[in-house]
A and B are shown apart, each in its own frame.
Chain A
């Protein structure tokens, strides 16, 4: 390199240095803005849940835990929380099992009209909740078995939520199964592992991270879902979001904020659990 060229490159380096600083500052500002944008609604809700006042309103003049006490003392709220958790758990079980089996079948066997089946499985995920909720209410609303009516039961919401969660599990697991080395499955057969044992002992552990994350998705989807639950629940089976909506219409007390915090905590708690498990699993496999 000639001296002149060297000098020029050093000069442009200084210019570039300045613009790098500017860009970095702009980046920090932008990142802070996005972070605040995401955190403010959650932060405000958390702050409001400790408000001693009777209304959701700023300024907060005194702090207390009275609305938390109220929440956990009220059977209406705890019943709704229990409903939400039971429904989410049911949804997780049904959608994970059926989604995994469907994805495995899809991956292993040459089905006729594969693309059509794929679209059919995925369809509910893209159907508005209002449509699905109404459809289930109309289609299965009349079912009664020995005095137990399907409409308004937790089971109906589980079925409805699974319609959304199952395609998601299917999509995730179908992609996961495709990463499984076919030779490893063949090796299991070769060593005497029958298909069912191979599936449980070899395939499932290999895709365990996919299973856990899709189960989590199913759980969270059900916990968060509002519209279908609104259509399909009755007074005794209302989920947390439904009860929140109904009480918002009657009285906007900070109890609502408490509910929101409880719901969000439930979601974040299971996500954290999964993260911990995931990291441990990765460490175990030493990747």
Chain B
């Protein structure tokens, strides 16, 4: 069976600015693939290339085995859910959903059936006659979703659909979209800069940076086995320790020795050690860890579920999180420890 979507060396530049730099991506039917990256990483442009709102400068885009990169949006079997919803303000909810079906010359009774069905799917039954201005932000996005789903496109494109909503609504709609994906098994490309959204919803995540895809993998693999330094530093919180290693002993960038003991120190040279603050243990808990660092508490932050201790060791700064009461005071010397598996080492 043909792939639902195939990007082959797709590029798009605006003058000297390369927005998308020979991106290749294969998506199978039923997959939920998220393009995740900082702003300006080319994720939205990639989505717009797939939807047909931009034309690529090079490469090939195929949807369900058919080359589409020369086709305008109205000849592609894709449907986009925009950030703002982009509902037609002068049409009712029902008319909004019927619009795409009418454009495809479907007969009126079938259209009515599909509109009702789509509204049911997004739990918006009874809102048929409302105008978009009478809906809340979350309701608008549900209608936008219904409008796209009603077409039964081979590809659903999500352009940061939740970023304009407040947190609780965002979490709720996120769960709804995931549930709908499980039920309906549509193929989706989802653009976001919110990594928890990407982690929670996707079957695979594509991390984008500077117009390129850095890594495509399931969320667990992205988190646990980042392909490179960018992916590691972008996903989750991390502390970065830039160190020099001389014969197994660590120094900071100014060359002062720091009290960091590594079980398997890398060869001599400049390195960056990345640690997950949630996996660093501190004080008594650090005893017996394969890797340790001694530092002084610079300041602490109370973050609700845990306290965050900012430590400084020579010229190095890092932080670790610990649940419960605040235990260490500013200026106090403490030991931090972590397992070798919780550390990533990248050449500087």
Interface residues of A (CB under 8 A from B): 181, 183-184, 186-194, 197, 201-202, 205-206, 208, 284-287
Contact of B79 among A190, A201, A208 (CB under 8 A): A190
> Nearest-CB distance from B7 to chain A (Å)?
18
The main secondary structure of chain A at its interface with chain B is helix
Whether the Cβ atoms of A287 and B53 lie closer than 8 Å is: no
Task: Determine the chain B residues whose CB is within 8 A of the CB of A284 once the complex forms.
Answer: 131
**How would residues 17 to 54 of chain B score, 1 for a CB under 8 Å from any chain A CB and 0 otherwise?**
00000000000000000000000000000000001110
* A183 to chain B: closest residue by CB: B86
Whether the Cβ atoms of B74 and A184 lie closer than 8 Å is: no
> Nearest-CB distance from B210 to chain A (Å)?
25
Q: Complex: how many Å from CA A192 to CA B83?
A: 19
> Nearest-CB distance from B308 to chain A (Å)?
39
- Listed from nearest, the 9 A-B pairs whose CB atoms lie closest are A191-B100, A192-B103, A187-B86, A183-B86, A189-B73, A205-B90, A286-B133, A183-B82, A184-B86
> Nearest-CB distance from A267 to chain B (Å)?
29
* B104 to chain A: closest residue by CB: A192
* A186 to chain B: closest residue by CB: B53
Whether the Cβ atoms of A197 and B103 lie closer than 8 Å is: yes
Whether the Cβ atoms of B131 and A285 lie closer than 8 Å is: yes
Q: What are 17 A-B contacts defined by CB distance under 8 Å?
A: A181-B84, A183-B82, A186-B73, A188-B88, A189-B72, A189-B74, A190-B79, A190-B80, A191-B99, A192-B74, A193-B74, A193-B99, A194-B74, A206-B90, A208-B90, A285-B89, A285-B133
Given contacts A286-B131, A286-B134, contact A187 B80 (CB under 8 A): yes
> Nearest-CB distance from B50 to chain A (Å)?
11
Task: Determine the chain B residues whose CB is within 8 A of the CB of A181 once the complex forms.
Answer: 84, 86
* A204 to chain B: closest residue by CB: B90
**How would residues 136 to 173 of chain B score, 1 for a CB under 8 Å from any chain A CB and 0 otherwise?**
00000000000110010000000000000000000000
Contact of B151 among A191, A205, A206, A287 (CB under 8 A): A191
Task: Determine the chain A residues whose CB is within 8 A of the CB of B151 once the complex forms.
Answer: 191-192
Q: Complex: how many Å from CA A181 to CA B85?
A: 11
* B72 to chain A: closest residue by CB: A189
Q: Complex: how many Å from CA A192 to CA B104?
A: 7
Total inter-chain residue pairs, C-beta < 8 Å: 72
Whether the Cβ atoms of A202 and B79 lie closer than 8 Å is: no
Whether the Cβ atoms of A202 and B88 lie closer than 8 Å is: yes
**How would residues 114 to 143 of chain B score, 1 for a CB under 8 Å from any chain A CB and 0 otherwise?**
000000000000000001011000000000
Whether the Cβ atoms of B73 and A190 lie closer than 8 Å is: yes
Whether the Cβ atoms of A186 and B133 lie closer than 8 Å is: no
Whether the Cβ atoms of A183 and B84 lie closer than 8 Å is: yes
B78 at the A interface (CB under 8 A) = yes
Task: Determine the chain B residues whose CB is within 8 A of the CB of A193 once the complex forms.
Answer: 74, 99-100, 103
Q: Complex: how many Å from CA A189 to CA B75?
A: 9
Q: Complex: how many Å from CA A115 to CA B89?
A: 32
- Extra 15 A-B pairs, beta carbons < 8 Å, given A190-B74, A192-B74, A192-B103: A183-B84, A183-B86, A186-B86, A187-B86, A189-B53, A189-B72, A191-B99, A191-B147, A193-B99, A197-B103, A201-B99, A205-B90, A285-B133, A286-B133, A287-B133
* B100 to chain A: closest residue by CB: A191
**How would residues 50 to 76 of chain B score, 1 for a CB under 8 Å from any chain A CB and 0 otherwise?**
011100000000000000000011100
> Nearest-CB distance from A257 to chain B (Å)?
44
Q: Complex: how many Å from CA A252 to CA B72?
A: 66
Contact of A206 among B79, B84, B89 (CB under 8 A): B89
Q: Complex: how many Å from CA A206 to CA B100?
A: 18
Q: Complex: how many Å from CA A205 to CA B132?
A: 15
**How would residues 261 to 273 of chain B score, 1 for a CB under 8 Å from any chain A CB and 0 otherwise?**
0000000000000
Task: Determine the chain B residues whose CB is within 8 A of the CB of A190 once the complex forms.
Answer: 51-53, 73-74, 78-80
Task: Determine the chain B residues whose CB is within 8 A of the CB of A187 once the complex forms.
Answer: 80, 82, 86-88
Q: Complex: how many Å from CA A183 to CA B144?
A: 12
Q: Complex: how many Å from CA A186 to CA B147?
A: 14
Contact of A191 among B79, B90, B133 (CB under 8 A): B79
Task: Determine the chain B residues whose CB is within 8 A of the CB of A197 once the complex forms.
Answer: 103
Task: Determine the chain A residues whose CB is within 8 A of the CB of B104 once the complex forms.
Answer: 192
* A202 to chain B: closest residue by CB: B88
* B77 to chain A: closest residue by CB: A192
Q: Complex: how many Å from CA A188 to CA B134?
A: 21
Q: Complex: how many Å from CA A229 to CA B51?
A: 53
Q: Complex: how many Å from CA A197 to CA B88?
A: 14
Q: Complex: how many Å from CA A37 to CA B99?
A: 53
Name the residue in A183, A189, A192 with the highest tally of chain B Cβ atoms < 10 Å from its Cβ. Answer: A192
* A198 to chain B: closest residue by CB: B74
Whether the Cβ atoms of A191 and B103 lie closer than 8 Å is: yes
> Nearest-CB distance from A201 to chain B (Å)?
8
Task: Determine the chain B residues whose CB is within 8 A of the CB of A208 once the complex forms.
Answer: 90
Task: Determine the chain A residues whose CB is within 8 A of the CB of B79 once the complex forms.
Answer: 190-191
Q: Complex: how many Å from CA A206 to CA B91?
A: 10
Task: Determine the chain A residues whose CB is within 8 A of the CB of B74 once the complex forms.
Answer: 189-194
Task: Determine the chain A residues whose CB is within 8 A of the CB of B52 once the complex forms.
Answer: 189-190
Q: Complex: how many Å from CA A10 to CA B297?
A: 56
Given contacts A206-B90, A286-B131, contact A186 B100 (CB under 8 A): no
